[in-house]
Structure 1
Amino acid sequence: MKKLIMALVVSLFVSTAMADEVAIDLLKGEGDVTGVRLAYRPYHTTVTDFPLIGDVNLYLELSANKWRYGDPAEYDDNLAIAFSPVLTRQFTTVYGKALFWELGVGVSFLDKKRFAGKDLGTYYQFEDRLGLTLALDPAKKRSISLRYFHYSNGGLEKPNPGMDFINLSYTWRF
């Protein structure tokens, strides 16, 4: 564990050749919940010898999420600002394009703790994700992703019903 922590700390201070990325995502949640998500990824690095899985890529992501629920004439909305470290690793190719898995656990702050008929318990939520990303070009400057997101307060307070989303994302590196 000490080796993992040291590798992560060292990697945070080593510059990388990868550029910044931006992403725009469409979200579909439970029932009538929909949303849009804008993300910025200012930091990328590689962590070598990660326990159990070997070398992985790490990026840090800052995002703003706008969620909507209900009838457009009287919809409920919520804003979530999130910060997440995300691990990715290529595991195969599809028609010559790199396919990656990704996972991350971050933190978020909600504008409202009551949303879509639920009391979410706290303004602070964990942002968990699991997804697949397909690079659209050999330089990996453009990609699309399909992800599952779960927001909850992790049982730190009751109630804790959580919110689940399926996410379709387009990312551009510059």
Structure 2
Amino acid sequence: MGACALFGASAAAHAQFADMRQSPTLYLQGGLAENSGRSVTVGSTIPMQWRTYWWGNAVTAHWDLSLGIWNAERDNQDGRRNIAVLGLKPVLRFHSKSQYPWFVEAGIGGFISNHLYENRDKRFSTAFNFGSHLGLGYFTGMKRENEWMLRIEHFSNASIKRPNPGENFIQLRYARHF
């Protein structure tokens, strides 16, 4: 009897997440960093076939593939220099109960750039870096096909090579589900 009740409660919890967005997206993202750093990124998220439940909320996973352009003002140089940054990151997303459009996500992954990033105060020592982020998002649209997210992302080489100054970006992302 207890097992039937537990199974029924579990099935009800899983059913409430049936309309959760688990589809690929295309996104556009802009960011600002300390000391005049800027970024513009396009990318795609690709769902993983993994889901679990934690404290009555769903946790899903996806891959985030991105291509960005970063630049910043540099001292003793001729203005800004654009660098291309390619990234791949696994991400976990924590969904609130299905009737609420809010979500939180976190991820960490690898990024490679075509030049070393530098601004007035710091210069990266490697073209390969790690990026980790935390984001707060909100779904909009009749079928929750749009999502908006505010993110904080940190990039550094995890002390692979010195110096390791790192850079922090505040980012705004718009994504469209397909």
TM-score, normalized by length of structure 1? 0.79
- Percent identity between matched residues is 22
In 2, are the aligned partners of 1:97 and 1:136 still within 8 Å (CA)? no
* CA gap 1:98/1:158 in 2 versus in 1, 3 angstroms: same
* CA gap 1:92/1:53 in 2 versus in 1, 3 angstroms: closer
- TM-aligned CA deviation for residue 144 of structure 1: 0.3
Aligned to 1:144: 148
Aligned to 1:107: 110
* CA gap 1:114/1:42 in 2 versus in 1, 3 angstroms: closer
In 1, are the aligned partners of 2:43 and 2:65 still within 8 Å (CA)? yes
SS of corresponding position for 2:101: strand
Residues 8-34 of structure 1: CA deviation (Å, up to 9, x unaligned): xxxxxxxxx833201100111112111
Query: C-alpha root-mean-square deviation of aligned residues, in Å?
Result: 2.4
- TM-aligned CA deviation for residue 91 of structure 1: 3.0
Unaligned 5+ runs, structure 2: 1-20
- TM-aligned CA deviation for residue 65 of structure 1: 1.1
* CA gap 1:29/1:41 in 2 versus in 1, 3 angstroms: same
Superposed, which structure 2 residues align to 1:42-53 within 5 Å? 42-48=46-52
Aligned to 1:25: 29
Superposed, which structure 2 residues align to 1:89-104 within 5 Å? 89-91=94-96, 97-104=100-107
Q: Partners in 2 of 1:92 and 1:65 — Cα distance?
A: 33
Residue identity opposite 1:77 in structure 2: N
Unaligned 5+ runs, structure 1: 1-16
Q: Partners in 2 of 1:130 and 1:80 — Cα distance?
A: 19
Alignment partner of 1:123 is 2:127? yes
Of the three residues 154, 160, 165, the one matched with 1:161 is 165
Larger CA Rg, structure 1 vs 2: 2
Q: Partners in 1 of 2:174 and 2:88 — Cα distance?
A: 18
Size of the alignment, in residue pairs? 154
Aligned to 1:39: 43
Higher strand share: 1
Superposed, which structure 2 residues align to 1:47-62 within 5 Å? 47-48=51-52, 55-62=58-65
Q: Partners in 1 of 2:52 and 2:131 — Cα distance?
A: 25
Q: Partners in 2 of 1:123 and 1:53 — Cα distance?
A: 41
Aligned to 1:8: none
